[in-house]
Amino acid sequence: MDVIKVWNGHYACQLQSALRLTNEQFAAQLGVAVRTVATWHSDPAVVPRREMQQLLDTVHEQAPPSARQRFSLLAAGRSGDGAGAGTVGAQALRVAIAVVTREDSVLLVCRRDDDATGITWQFPAGVIKPGAKAETATVRETLDETGVHCAIRQQLGTRLHPVTGVLCEYFLCEYLAGEATNSDTVENIDVMWVPRKSVTRFIPVDTIFPPILAILEEQT
């Protein structure tokens, strides 16, 4: 299969596997966030937006002949080298989640609706690279996404996210400085301070980590 009429998460992951790239490497080649690649692994049926379709076309067209051959075999349901299409997707992906509070408000970001994960508004988040500390990723990604400086107060726990299936590590953070702005316009639409009592109007309550719900109920 040399031509993909419409890319979806399944074909994108097969292209990643054919190129023998990690989630981080594939995201860097496409110029997207690693969480976008993670979404393709968690939801193979998702259809990326038009601009992403073009990026995937370009990466496929510029791939070495050997990689294109592996992709054709994978797309046809044959591994060709004994490796399954899900080899790359089996790699663990860890994400740091920042619950940043300022008085009675919590910081939220609104993601572009490209992934069909059911998630739009969420807490600032970032991939924890191999060998990196989750705490470092939490503070760095919050600043990169929102322009807000924060400090970690406590770890709230870890779980597999009920929608994406990604391993998430949650941290309660204290606001230090900075004006909340949308610093990542490629991935996000908006950034907003939301009253604690109103967070469940933006994020479905059944997807919020229980320790976060306890935090939101404090002093409300």
pLDDT band at 119; cut points 50, 70, 90: low
Tens of pLDDT, residue by residue over 63-107, are 988 888 888 888 776 444 444 434 333 345 788 999 999 999 999
Q: What is the pLDDT of residue 77?
A: 63
pLDDT digits (tens, 9 = 90+) for 132-170: 899 999 999 999 989 999 999 999 999 887 776 778 899
Q: What's at 219, amino acid-wise?
A: Q
- Whole-number average pLDDT of the chain: 83
Q: Tell me the domains of the chain and their CATH numbers.
A: 9-90 (no CATH), 94-217 (3.90.79.10)
| pLDDT value for 69 | 85
Summarize the chain as % helix, strand, coil (round to 5). Answer: 40, 25, 40
Count CA atoms within 13 Å of residue 27 on its CB side: 19
Q: How far apart are CA 160 and CA 199, in angstroms?
A: 21
More confident: 56 or 220: 56
Give the pair of three-digit tokens for residue 22.
Answer: 């990690």
Q: What is the pLDDT of residues 8-18, one digit of tens each?
A: 888 898 899 88
Whole-structure pTM value: 0.61
Question: What percent of the chain has pLDDT above 70?
Answer: 85
